[in-house]
Amino acid sequence: MSRHVPIRMCVACRRRRPKGELLRILLTPEGFVLDPSGKRPGRGAYVCPDNPECWKEKKLRRFAGAKAKALAEALAAHLGGMHGQGQDLPAG
């Protein structure tokens, strides 16, 4: 079975990977929304969920600009928790 696998690029490290290996970020007028299901309508972007380097504000700035900080925090909260670590999230 050789189904076509869509390839997407991580906006942080620019590595190309199968879409299923990446975490989708939905681009909305209000800002970025994480879309773990990958199924919400709208424009999307992708980051590596398994590489904390790709969640860093500095790496995201080229893509997210002034919203990089908020995006980095959302990614760390979502993905850090997923691995059972990262319990040191700042309050608020």
- The residue ranges that bind Zn ion (CB under 5 A) are 10, 12-13, 48, 54
Task: Tell the smallest beta-carbon distance from residue 48 to Zn ion (Å).
Answer: 3
CB-based burial, 4-30: b 16+ in 10 Å, e otherwise: eeeebebbbeeeebeeeebbbbbbeee
Task: Tell the smallest beta-carbon distance from residue 68 to Zn ion (Å).
Answer: 14
Nearer to Zn ion by C-beta: 10 or 79?
10
Task: Tell the smallest beta-carbon distance from residue 55 to Zn ion (Å).
Answer: 9
Nearer to Zn ion by C-beta: 40 or 50?
50
- Residue of minimal Cβ distance to Zn ion: 10
Nearer to Zn ion by C-beta: 10 or 76?
10
Spatial CA neighbour of 55 closest among 41, 70, 42, 43: 70
**Residue 77 to residue 30: CA distance in whole angstroms:** 19
**Residue 13 to residue 51: CA distance in whole angstroms:** 9
